[in-house]
Structure 1
Amino acid sequence: MALKRKRSNSATRLLETNGDTWSTSSTSSNREFELATTEFTIKINVPKQSRNKKKPQARFEPDIISKLVVQPSKWYRMKEYSSFVHSKITFKRGDIVEVKRPGTDGVHGERKEWIARVLDVRADDPAHVYVRIAWFYWPEDLPMGRMEYHGRNEVIESNHPDIIDAMTVNGKADIKEWDEEDEDASFEGYYYRQQFDYLSSQLTTPREFCICESYYNPDTKIVNCPECNIWMHEECIIADAIKRHKKSSLIAKIGDDLKSDSAVTLVEKGDKKGHDKSQKSTHKSDQNVAVVLFEGKIRIKEVIKRGDDDSDSGLDADTIIDEDIRCLKCGEVVP
């Protein structure tokens, strides 16, 4: 990532580990700053691992400082600080912050900023403050792209390292970690549950849910069975209901056809071989099933389409059925 930004006259203060305060002068140089190329560059002291077809589990290290080589070496000679103050906001190590993107002019809004975690704060004088960070990713920015289970407000933690100018920090980001094993967890706004390992280009695996053993997109519904404590995707419950009702309707239709085809074969007098006077129906029917979860029930709407020779409308009466939700694993009714 690269940022270009002119320094403004906004003051930045540094807070040392021992609590002493170092205030900046009210004026600072208006030099051009390009984040990844002007002051510092970061190299990783280990080769990237080759991708494996089996996609091994990522071994995520939040801070890969032991593997970093920062150039120029003056980075290591600069004084370390526990936090800094910018625009009257104190930013500490570990804080998740918004970083201004080119062309946004610091305007807040959905995905207007980059997101990063503060890992280190250093400065060689009050007017030149730098922050070592690890980037967060939007799902669509991952090498593998956005997955079906990624929610609209989901971000991905990474250990992708960088060093930015403290003046490009726009504010604190309200992002919560979601522990999927905590079934009582609730949150609003942006959240993260996965980590992207920059060294191996692998993504940690989220928790598996349902009998399909797939993942959960929190923008969709999920239903818990208290009997066997399995969580079921709404779409899996709906797919099961559609499958069952199409199957039961097909069995009923075959039964009706068998009854119709069991009519006595008429044999005209003098016809040795016999002649089938029964006429099989050319009628064709096609049943569409729509299913939704409604007020703790499965609501099924069957629309039976008739052939053109049956009616002008081509539609028979719809059938609406309400059923209890049953667990896809143990079969018990889900209250």
Structure 2
Amino acid sequence: MAKTKPGKKDVDSYTIKGTNKVVRPGDCVLMRPPDSDRPPYVARVEKIEADHRSNMKVRVRWYYRPEESIGGRRQFHSSKELFLSDHYDVQSAHTIEGKCIVHTFKNYTKLENVGTDDYFCRFEYKAATGSFTPDRVAVYCKCEMPYNPDDLMVQCEGCKDWFHPSCMGMTIEEAKKLDQFMCLDCSSDDDTKRSLNSFPVLPAAETKVEAKRRKSVSNFQSPCVPAEGHVRVDCLFYLVWLNIDKLKL
């Protein structure tokens, strides 16, 4: 058992006041903010302590919402996205309002029904510097943004890349009615193949996906230039602005 300060002892669990919900180290919890207009804070319980008067304290590691980070919320951030920070704190256990689940990004995208207390985390965040781990993320669509599970995306039958309906000039309703979808590049290629159907064509779908992404990223001759198909997270705030500006042209 971990050592504690004199007069304090570690305890295995805490029952949330007014409920039968039991909190243990490793659980994720919702904590009451000082301002009632704000959403509850989210934290992971690292340790639970009781002093000689049986006052309960919890050592927590905070999750940050995107808007609480240095870069702020951007269009690719989900409403349920959190960053696991390196910010630790000690709070009264009485500020715990309830429990929640912070899924991995992969597990979250597999949920059939997302509940009120379901969240996900794909990045760790250093509060002092604003840096992220991992520092690179895959990007999709012609807008070159990371995947936001809140937004519908359609997959091209040709290159197998994913696209936002709005970036393809479609409404969500129109996209849902599609039996299959071909992006503009693949549609053009398909027309060309039909006109040259007497010539053998090697399958190059995989090559084309990488070429599209490599071209889109290599246009930015800066420290933001990443490995193929990925973009550095700390540069995304710059790239979001730049991509929006490009789409206006």
TM-score by length of 2: 0.59
Q: How many residues align?
A: 182
In the alignment, what sits opposite 2:93? Answer: 166
- Where in structure 2 are there 5+ consecutive unaligned residues? 192-249
1:80 aligns with 2:10: yes
2:176 and 2:62 map into 1 onto residues whose CA distance is 44
Change over 3 Å in CA distance of 1:162–1:86 after alignment to 2: same
Aligned match for 2:126, one of 180, 197, 222: 197
Q: Which has the higher contact order (CA 8 A, sep 6+)?
A: 2
1:237 and 1:83 map into 2 onto residues whose CA distance is 52
How many Å apart are 1:76 and its aligned residue?
7.1
Task: Name the one with the larger strand percent.
Answer: 1
1:214 and 1:149 map into 2 onto residues whose CA distance is 6
1:208 and 1:85 map into 2 onto residues whose CA distance is 42
1:122 aligns with 2:49: yes
Change over 3 Å in CA distance of 1:148–1:84 after alignment to 2: same
2:44 and 2:155 map into 1 onto residues whose CA distance is 35
Aligned match for 1:188, one of 103, 114, 121: 114
How many Å apart are 1:206 and its aligned residue?
4.1
Change over 3 Å in CA distance of 1:184–1:327 after alignment to 2: farther
How many Å apart are 1:184 and its aligned residue?
4.5
**What SS does the aligned partner of 1:330 have?**
helix
**Alignment RMSD (CA, Å):** 3.6
How many Å apart are 1:82 and its aligned residue?
2.6
Task: Name the one with the larger helix percent.
Answer: 2
Q: For the Cα contact (< 8 Å) 1:216–1:233, is it kept in 2?
A: no
- Where in structure 1 are there 5+ consecutive unaligned residues? 1-16, 18-72, 105-109, 239-290, 300-323
How many Å apart are 1:188 and its aligned residue?
1.4
1:153 and 1:114 map into 2 onto residues whose CA distance is 13
1:292 partner amino acid: T
How many Å apart are 1:128 and its aligned residue?
1.6
Between the aligned residues of both structures, percent identity stands at: 28
2:158 and 2:6 map into 1 onto residues whose CA distance is 58
How many Å apart are 1:111 and its aligned residue?
4.7
1:140 partner amino acid: E
Aligned match for 2:182, one of 313, 323, 326: 326
1:161 and 1:82 map into 2 onto residues whose CA distance is 19
Change over 3 Å in CA distance of 1:296–1:125 after alignment to 2: same
Aligned match for 1:113, one of 40, 46, 49: 40
How many Å apart are 1:227 and its aligned residue?
4.1
Over alpha carbons, which structure has the higher Rg?
1
TM-score by length of 1: 0.46
1:91 aligns with 2:23: yes
How many Å apart are 1:329 and its aligned residue?
5.0
1:221 aligns with 2:152: yes
How many Å apart are 1:174 and its aligned residue?
4.5
1:292 and 1:161 map into 2 onto residues whose CA distance is 44
How many Å apart are 1:220 and its aligned residue?
2.4
Aligned match for 1:146, one of 48, 73, 77: 73
